[in-house]
Every structure is written in C-alpha cells, then in structure tokens.
Amino acid sequence: MSVEVVYAFGNPNLGVYVAASEDFALVPVDAPEKLEQALKRNLGVGVLRASIGSSSLLGVFCVMNSKGILVGNAVREEEVARLREALGDKVVVRVLEEVKENALGNLILANDKGALVSPLLPKEAVQAVFDTLDVEVVQSRLGGSNLVGALGVATNRGVLLSPIVADEEVDFVISVLKTHKGGIGTVNKGNIFVRSGIVANSKGALVGFETTGVELMRIQAVLGP
C-alpha cells in the first residue's frame, strides 16, 4: 500500500477537503493539480472537481462509498446535478434532507461493506444511508463521542480509529465494516480526529504534511494489506 505525504491547501487537514472511494475522489474546484495527480497515483481513482453548498470542505459535507454519495441539505441543485451527470447511473447521489446537520463526514463512517452512523441521525436518515450506500447500517457512539465519522478512516481492508476509542470498540467497528483488521492511530503530530488528515482506499492513502514517521508506519500497518 502506498502512503504519500501531501502538501496542499496550506494546512495539513487534507481529509476535510477531499473524499474518496475505491473508484473516484471528490476534490475542490480550485485544488492544485499535484493533489489530483497524487490521488490518481496512490489511490488509483478518477478525480472529480466539485463543491457542496459552495464550500470546498468536501470531506466534511459528504460521505460516500463506491455505490453512493450522501450530502447535506446545504448543497445546491446545480451541484447535485453536476455530480449525477459526472458519475452516471452507477453511483447514487442522495441529499440527506432528514437531518439538519450538514457535516455528514463527521457523523458517518462507511466503506463498501458497512456503515457506522451517529446517534444524532434520526431513523429516517439511517434508512437513507442504507438505501444509498447499500450496506448494513449500525448506530452507535465511539469513545463516548457522537462524531463517529471524524474519529475514523475506513477502507475495505482496514479501519484506523482515534486513540479515544476503546479496544473492544475497535473490534466492534471491524465487525460492522467487515474489514480484515483495525487499530488505533493518529495523524498530523497527534491529531485524534484522524479523518481530518487522511484520504484512503484499499489501494493507497494520502496524509497531511505534519504526519510523523511513526504515524505513517501505523497508518500503513492498519490500512495496508
């Protein structure tokens, strides 16, 4: 598995700007070309430039897997239309109108096999996650927090979780997402909100430029083959 440190956006919080699945990645309209090339090189994905609610914080305002994308109701009609036109019939684009929160990336942890969703989401939203991502959905907190999406990065191979998550919770998340393995780690010199600094799929990962060598080794060990 390839893990590359990326310098982009002037800060190390790469994961708040970029979202990726096994097949494609969303990046801000003004993302540097070197970021697009790094995604293609390491994650083996197609890259689509987009915005959500006129914001470049794509990793915060959407959650996705290879089958679907969920966005909050702040998204504009033309932004949804652009996503649907670019991705075609193979990927469902769903506006999650059932919730007031738009930061769906902080509330849902998902891959192509399962989804863990925050207790903050109502039943109607949980059903929408199931319908859109086409996976089993389980509702739970992690480490005493409702921000289950912010505390983890999941691929189809592994799941890296924040140090505030207990060992038994790691096993629980592995069972929900049906990954081969899981573990604890940080990014960008100890940031416990690991989703903010990592973009990954089963083929590779990009991390923020403050990530240490020890953190890189841990990320590769947990998310790699």
Which tokens in the block code for residue 88? 């075609």
> Which amino acid is residue 84, in one-letter code?
R
pLDDT score, position 20: 97
Please enumerate in sequence order all residues whose Cβ is within 8 A of that of 179, keeping only pairs 6 or more positions apart, or say none: 111, 113, 154, 155, 156, 157, 158, 159
Rounded to 5°, angle at Cα 124 from 122 and 130: 110
> Which amino acid is residue 5, in one-letter code?
V
Please tell me the distance from the alpha carbon of residue 50 to that of residue 29, in angstroms, as a whole number.
5
- For the chain of 225 residues, list the mean pLDDT of each consecutive stretch of 10: 90 96 96 96 96 96 96 94 92 90 94 97 94 97 97 97 97 97 97 97 97 96 91
For residue 93, how far is the Cα from the chain centroid? 16
pLDDT score, position 136: 96
Rounded to 5°, angle at Cα 118 from 28 and 198: 40
Please tell me the distance from the alpha carbon of residue 184 to that of residue 60, in angstroms, as a whole number.
21
Please tell me the distance from the alpha carbon of residue 90 to that of residue 67, in angstroms, as a whole number.
7
Question: Comparing C-alpha atoms, which of 182, 166, 44, 41 is closest to residue 111?
Answer: 182
pLDDT score, position 86: 93
Per domain, the residue ranges of the chain are: 2-223
Half-sphere exposure of residue 19: CA atoms within 13 angstroms, side-chain side: 30
Please enumerate in sequence order all residues whose Cβ is within 8 A of that of 4, keeping only pairs 6 or more positions apart, or say none: 38, 41, 42, 204, 205, 206, 207
Half-sphere exposure of residue 177: CA atoms within 13 angstroms, side-chain side: 32
Just give the CATH number of 2-223: 3.75.10.10
CA distance to 26, 27, 48, 90, 93, per residue, from 86 (Å): 11, 13, 8, 10, 11
What DSSP designation does 187 have? Answer: B
pLDDT score, position 95: 95
CB contact burial 160-190 (16+ within 10 A = b; e otherwise): bbbeebeeebbebbbebbebeebbbbbbbee
